[in-house]
Amino acid sequence: MHNILAVTWRQTTEGFAFGAVGMLLVAVLLGGTQYRRLSSGVRFFWFYLVMVLIIEVLAKYHHYILDTSNMYLLHIYTFFEFVLLMLFFRETLELRVSWRRTLLGITFSIGIVLVLYSANILFWHNEKLLPQHFQLYSKIITNFFILFFSVLFFVRFISGRIKKESRVLFWIYAGILTYFSGSFVIFMAINQLIRMPLKESIVLWLLNAVLAFVFYGIVNTAFLIQRQNWKRLRPG
Amino acid sequence: MIVGVLLMTGLGFTIILVTKISSERVLREQQKLTTLQLNHQKEILRHSLNVQEQERERISGELHDGLASKLHVVRLLLATGQSSDPAQQQQIKGLVDDVLNLTRGISRELYPPLLEEMGLSSALQDFLLPLHRHMTIEFSFRGELTIDKNRDVHLFRIVQELVQNVLKHAGATCIKLAVRTSVNGIFICLADNGRGFNLEAVQKSAGMKNLASRVQLLNGKYKIKTRPGMGTRCLVKI
């Protein structure tokens, strides 16, 4: 009985995970078909979605076809997620950070990642990349910043400081806040979750999949609003 | 852990929900404010059209009763054919002088000629000059004001409206008019020693609406301080 329940949980989780990828694909297509009409900020967000889709496909390929660990992808994912979302925040929240400083920050982050990866391979060997040695504290830090900026958006939205394409941005930020507020707790414990038996951690992975599904669903709403706005404003 | 995830997601949802509700409330209030402003502008427009019609009616009356009737008499006198009679000549001359004075008066009321040539200060002095016969008038003008036809005509009309109100309703024996210009704007202060009035009772009168619309047109503010039996003081800041 317990095993049947575990299988059902697993299937439900996989169902939501694949559903989320489907939603993500729709979001990428919806954003891609109106790419020229997207503002520079939303374009960065679209690039983020494309990056997530690529990582998701690679992760599924590793898991289902190669049957190897795909955890290393999470490091790449975390890095690009942070950079692209920060660029999105920079543009949409009109943060007064010059392009020079932004590029310096990105270069510095790339440098840090490369140094840590090299150090890991050179001094702690490849086996440190195996799940039992897996750690992802960087994800907690980046998630904290993402949460901070998405809350900042809503504070600015209430005070009326967000004027441009406010409805589209509202829904994108609503998606970000919904997903990252829940996943923040999950990723806070990811180092332990990785080492736990799947039947014990499956509910959390299910929650993560549901949150991702909701996130991309809300993003699709934002892109549909963008399309409607354009149709309404189009002459003739 | 599960409770933590659900709590954090709930918190996120709450932030989104609160933002949505409050932004919609702000939007509704903004729409309400816009509607109010539109209604107010409509009211001002309606009022200014009414004032324009009243003015036309008044000019028409003056042309008909004053000019036309006098010109009829001149025509009649000329038609009788005794133009060599010195008494009749004198009468015709007097009537023509009256017609000329009336025409000048109407012209001056329509647009004070000094306003464009000499500026607001001279136009106001010219406007107040005939009133000296009826009451004590103290007029002071401090500061420099470059001639701006559009602004000056509104300022002139504001003072004209205020003075006419004093003449019509206040029963005052003294008027003090002070115009001051500085980097902070133009200040007009008109005070009288008349009977004063209940401000709330006349808030919707045509004169007050006219004053309000002109002040608003110049992005200014005005304030009236009065009490029955205590005179009136009106301050305008542009």
pLDDT for A235 equals 61
Residue numbers in B near A203 (CB within 8 A): 2
Q: Residue A103 has what pLDDT?
A: 82
Query: Does the pLDDT value for residue B1 go beyond 80?
Result: no
Return the percentage of chain B with pLDDT > 90, whole number.
Answer: 3
Predicted confidence at residue A172, as pLDDT, reads 94
Query: Cβ–Cβ of B19/A186 closer than 8 Å?
Result: no
Which value, in Å, is the radius of gyration of the alpha carbons in chain B?
Answer: 28
> Judged by CB atoms within 8 Å, which residues 12-41 of B form the interface with A?
12-13, 15-16, 18-20, 22-23, 26
The per-residue pLDDT for range A119-133, each reduced to its tens digit, is 666 665 555 555 545
Q: In terms of pLDDT, which residue wins out, A54 or B77? A: A54
Long-range residue pairs from B8-15, CB within 8 A, at least 24 positions apart, any chain:
B8/A181, B8/A182, B8/A184, B8/A185, B9/A178, B9/A181, B9/A182, B9/A211, B11/A181, B12/A177, B12/A178, B12/A180, B12/A181, B12/A182, B13/A178, B15/A151, B15/A154, B15/A177
For all residues of chain A together, what is the average pLDDT? Answer: 83
Cα A95 from chain centroid? 21
Between residues A213 and A138, the one the model is more confident about: A213
Please name the residue that has the structure tokens 């549901």.
A210
pLDDT tens track for B81-96: 666 777 778 888 888 8
For B154-185, the pLDDT digits (tens) are 888 888 888 888 888 888 888 888 888 888 88
| pLDDT tens digit sequence for B137-160 | 888 888 777 777 778 888 888 888
Binary contact (B5, A189; C-beta < 8 A) = no
CB A175 within 8 A of CB A150: no
- Chain centroid to CA B66: how far? 26
Task: Tell me, yes or no, if B198 comes closer than 8 A to chain A by beta carbon.
Answer: no
**Chain B CB within 8 Å of residue A203 CB:** yes
Four-point Cα dihedral A109, A112, A115, A119, nearest 10: -130
The yes-or-no verdict on residue A161 having pLDDT over 80 is no
Q: Is the pLDDT of residue A104 over 90?
A: no
**pLDDT > 90? residue A214:** yes
* Residue B34 pLDDT level (bands cut at 50, 70, 90): very high
- Chain A residues closer than 8 Å to B19 by CB: 154, 157-158, 170
Q: How confident is the model over A202-212, as a mean pLDDT?
A: 88
Option in B4, B15, B26 nearest A160 (CB): B26
The pLDDT of residue A165: 66
Which sequence spans correspond to the domains of chain B? 2-110, 119-237
Residue pLDDT, tens place only, B102-132: 888 887 777 777 777 778 888 888 888 888 8
Q: Do A177 and B20 touch (CB under 8 A)?
A: no
B119-237 architecture in CATH?
A: 2-Layer Sandwich (3.30)
Is residue A52 pLDDT above 90, yes or no? yes
Q: Give me the pLDDT at residue A71, please.
A: 76
Percent of chain A at pLDDT > 90 equals 34
pTM of the model: 0.62
Residue A25's pLDDT is what?
95
Q: How confident is the model at residue A174, as a pLDDT?
A: 94
Which pLDDT does position A3 carry in this prediction?
Answer: 61
Mean pLDDT, chain B, rounded, equals: 83
- Spell out a b/e string for B82-113, using b for 16 or more CB atoms within 10 Å of the CB, else e: eeeeeeeeeebeebeeebeebeeeeeeeeebe
Query: What gap in Å lies between CA B6 and CA A14, rounded to an integer?
Result: 20
Chain A residues close to B7, C-beta within 8 Å:
185
The architecture CATH gives domain A2-233: Up-down Bundle (1.20)
pLDDT at B79: 78
- The arithmetic mean of pLDDT across residues A168-186, rounded, is 91
pLDDT of residue A213: 94
What percent of chain A lies above the pLDDT cut of 70? 86
Residues of chain B neighbouring A183 (CB-CB closer than 8 A): 5
Identify the three-state secondary structure at position B187.
strand
| pLDDT tens column, B39-69 | 888 887 787 788 778 878 888 888 888 788 8
Q: Which stretches of chain B are assigned E, i.e. beta strand?
A: 136-142, 174-182, 185-192, 221-226, 232-237
Instruction: State the complex-level ipTM.
Output: 0.75
Comparing A222 with B78, the larger pLDDT belongs to A222
